[in-house]
Structure 1
Amino acid sequence: MPRPTVHRTPFGSVQGTRTDLYTLDSGTGVRAEVLTYGASLHRLTVPDTTGTAASVVRSLATLDDYTAKHPYFGAVVGRYANRIAHGRFVLDGTEHHVPANDRGHALHGGPDGFHTKVWEAAPERTEDTVSVRLTLHSPDGDMGFPGALDATVTYTLDTAGTLAVDYASVTDRPTVVNLTNHSYFELSGHSGILGHHLEVDADSYLPVDDDGIPLGPPSEVRGTPFDLTAPRLLGERLGAEDAQLRAAGGFDHCWVLRDSGGGLRRAARLTAPDSSRVLEVWTTEPGIQVYTANQLDGSFTDGTGRRHERHGAICLETQHLPDSPNRPDLPSTVLRPGDTARSRTELRFPHLPN
């Protein structure tokens, strides 16, 4: 069996700082390309059942495209993924303020969050895996967050074609942290996601207001368009008569996954229209934000002339729950000195031959 390989290619520079593209090749057909800018998953090439290879994530063409304002294509977002209501939270009696960059609320760590940073990178290899380990130092007060934070994100590809993403963060003062990857998935390579089937392993979700802020405690999905406990055709779900779906233009909601005691379990399964590719998302996180690219409008292209249109892809963001710093009833995102915030997400492709 071929051994997996990893190699680095220059990808330009940002204000004099070099950026690189790391290619992780399983040797068995799956290949992941990771940028040091934003710790971004640039491409994830996966063969279908006929052996035809295509990237299952949407990407941008050049570094200039990534450094311009864009909706987080492939990026690791933080220090706090998802929303913090009004950009304010209280920790140990002190109020902190994060820039309100989305309808009066803080989104994905603020306008200069982790998706805008050049991460340090180091490749690693074993007999059956290849990895790139990315690290970032976020100083005390960065985007208003307390404490200096050191974040590590490691992408690991194995010979079975599974791409694992491991997150680890430490701090020197109490802070909040919630990291995720913001890749846009589309498994058929051309047709958008309305013909895909999606299953989410969750019995409840967080209803939100028109700004995406949770309205209250989790609600049962049963009897609603948010019931994805069995595979559902996305086009049918998004076409349902539902006030929340109309307001958001599609799914932009967090499902509360079934409790695993912190262990790895399946969160979602996405199937291409012809079943030629299947993606399973496994995670240790308590939630998954499903976003059906409601705001894409064709303004962004991948360098081949293909435009990224509304409902052209889907984000499956494993994470803690939105606005948790203001919601003591939700799983805590507080990180204190001496502790490490860890999580793991795996992207598995069960249609691949063993």
Structure 2
Amino acid sequence: MTGRQVFGHFPDGRPVESLTLQGGGLTAKLLTMGAIVQDLRLEGVAHPLVLGTPMLEPYFSSMQFFGAIVGRFANRIGGARFTLDGRDYRTNANQQNRHILHGGDDGTWRQLWTLHDQAQDRAELRLALDDGHMGFPGKLSIAVTCALRDKGTLEFDMRATTEAPTPCNLAHHGYFNLDGTADICDHSLQVAASQYLPVDAELIPTGEIAPVDNSRFDFREARLIGAGGIDHNLCLSTEEQPLRCVATLRGQSGVRMDIETNACGLQVYDGSHISGLPGLDGRIYHAHAGIALETQGWPDAPNQPGFPSAILRPGQTYRHRVRYCFSA
């Protein structure tokens, strides 16, 4: 049944709503905080397909980023600083007090979005980030449409405009588990990427663009994810492309998810640091409970001239589309 209801409240009393969407054999619950996909079900499958929690509080702390639209710059910017048009900018350093991750402590994932439109199978949420928010220049106006399309498809259409040049890189940060099991180690993954970005000990790209050949980042042929530990960007292209299929995740239960996007990068994180989190249907999530497959621009792009540009300028419209297509 579609509709909306109060899910919880911000510490200052503002209500967070849960929006129920149905279409294409899917039922999704979308929160107005962070545009979070809190739950996702496929008709005929007994378990949820994503990691979520029935309470609001964990989304402020231990489960921050889970299922949210993250930004204004998804992933990391090394040193929490960058230079744009000859001017230096320092941003909120929310990772190890050294780097900025997913837009900072008060990024899009922690914001209360405004519901602009809702139908049975879709909702549009909007958000404005002020000039200087988390240290970024330019007032950024964001609109995200979450829709359930035919044949089990969860689609995000993310748009943004700015009043001054600024880094812009939005991503859906869902964690997926297609089997409803304790971990995703027995899921298989295939990704159309022949290169990846090596990172340093603090997960900041070194600037090298390396071939995946003979490495644990080679998913050109479907293989089991295992528990080896991965939190890296796989390079899909060096510029935005038309919508195309870039990855396939398969569970042992027979559920399959194909990912279509126009983005040039796919961050793969196998959830190795998840520990004791309160999940859906009474589950407790531990290491590798789900895998994040985040289509996006390349991390640290504002500091890496050899990476695809992630700068949005006045008069331009940022647009990022991703479709998660489920079948059983």
Same-fold call, TM cutoff 0.5: yes
2:15 alignment partner, one of 14, 18, 23: 18
Structure 1 residues 68 and 217 mapped into 2: Cα distance closer, same or farther (>3 Å)?
closer
- State the secondary structure of the residue aligned to 1:263: coil
Residue number among 294, 297, 300 corresponding to 1:323 in the alignment: 300
In structure 1, how many angstroms separate the alpha carbons of the residues matched to 2:240 and 2:163? Answer: 27
Q: Specify the SS of the correspondent of 1:140.
A: coil
Distance 2:50 2:272 in 1: 16
Query: How far did residue 221 of structure 1 move?
Result: 0.5
Whether the 8 Å CA contact 1:78–1:108 is kept in 2: the answer is yes
SS of aligned partner of 1:54: coil
- Supply the AA of the counterpart residue of 1:229: R
Residue 8 of structure 1 deviates from its aligned partner by 1.3
Look up the SS of the partner of 2:178 in the other structure: coil
Residues 100, 110 of structure 1: 8 Å contact kept: yes
In the alignment, which residue of structure 2 is the partner of 1:56?
49
Question: Cα deviation per residue 1:178-216 (whole Å; 9 max; x = unaligned)?
Answer: 100111100001231001000111010001111111112
**Cα distance in 2, alignment partners of residues 84 and 261 from structure 1:** 20
Cα displacement string for residues 86-123 of structure 1 (whole angstroms, at most 9, x for unaligned residues): 00000011111112211321111111111111100133
Counterpart of 2:111 (choices 104, 114, 117) is 117
Matched residue pairs, number? Answer: 326
Q: What is the rounded CA distance, in whole Å, between the counterparts of 2:212 and 2:37 in structure 1?
A: 31
Q: 1:143 aligns with which of 131, 134, 144?
A: 134
CA contact (8 A) 2:6 2:17 kept: yes
Residues 141 and 23 of structure 1: is their aligned pair in 2 closer, same or farther, counting only changes over 3 Å?
Answer: same
Deviates further, 98-107 or 335-344: 98-107
Q: Distance in 1 between matches of 2:194 and 2:185?
A: 22
Question: Which amino acid in 2 is paired with 1:107?
Answer: L
Give the conservation status (yes or no) of the 8 Å contact 1:6–1:131. no
Asked if 1:41 corresponds to 2:37, the answer is: yes
Partners of 1:147 and 1:29 lie apart in 2 by: 40
Residues 124 and 314 of structure 1: CA distance in aligned 2, closer, same or farther (over 3 Å): same
Q: CA deviation at 1:260?
A: 7.6
Structure 1 residue 41 displacement after superposition: 0.7
Corresponding position of 1:246 = none
What is the CA–CA distance in structure 2 between the aligned matches of 1:258 and 1:85, rounded to whole Å?
22
Partner of residue 269, structure 2: 291
Residues 1:59 and 1:130: Cα distance change in structure 2 (over 3 Å): same
State how 1:43-122 maps to structure 2 within 5 Å: 43-47=39-43, 51-103=44-96, 104-122=98-116
**Does the C-alpha gap of structure 1 residues 201 and 57 become closer, same or farther in structure 2, counting only changes over 3 Å?**
same
Q: How do 1:178-327 and structure 2 match up within 5 A?
A: 178-235=169-226, 238-239=227-228, 250-258=229-237, 262-274=241-253, 276-298=254-276, 300-302=277-279, 304-327=281-304
Q: How far apart, CA to CA, are the structure 1 residues paired with 2:103 and 2:242?
A: 26
Whole-Å Cα distance in 2 between the matches of residues 158 and 282 of structure 1? 13
For residues 138 and 258 of structure 1, the distance between their equivalents in structure 2, rounded to whole angstroms, comes to: 29
Instruction: Give the structure 2 partner of residue 337 of structure 1.
Output: 314
Alpha-carbon distance between aligned partners in 2 of 1:344 and 1:251, rounded to the nearest angstrom: 24
Percentage of matched positions with identical amino acids: 39
SS at match of 2:278: coil
Matched residues in 2 for 1:258 and 1:336: separation?
Answer: 22
In 1, Cα distance between equivalents of 2:25 and 2:184? 23
Q: TM-score, normalised by structure 1?
A: 0.88
Bigger drift between 183-192 and 65-74 goes to 65-74
Deviation at 1:39, TM superposition (A): 0.8
Instruction: Please state whether the residue corresponding to 2:122 is helix, strand or coil.
Output: strand
Whole-angstrom CA distance in 2 between matches of 1:322 and 1:193: 24
Q: CA RMSD in A?
A: 1.6
Note if 1:9 corresponds to 2:5. yes
Q: Distance in 2 between matches of 1:210 and 1:109?
A: 20
**Superposed CA offset, 1:159-182 (max 9, x none):** 322111011010111111110011
Q: Secondary structure at the match of 2:175?
A: coil
Q: Structure 1 residue 307: deviation in Å?
A: 1.2
Assess if the C-alpha contact under 8 Å between 1:60 and 1:73 holds in 2.
no
Query: What amino acid does structure 1 have at the position aligned with 2:63?
Result: H
Rounded to whole Å, the distance in 2 between the matches of 1:183 and 1:312 is 12
Deviates more, 1:209-218 or 1:221-230: 209-218
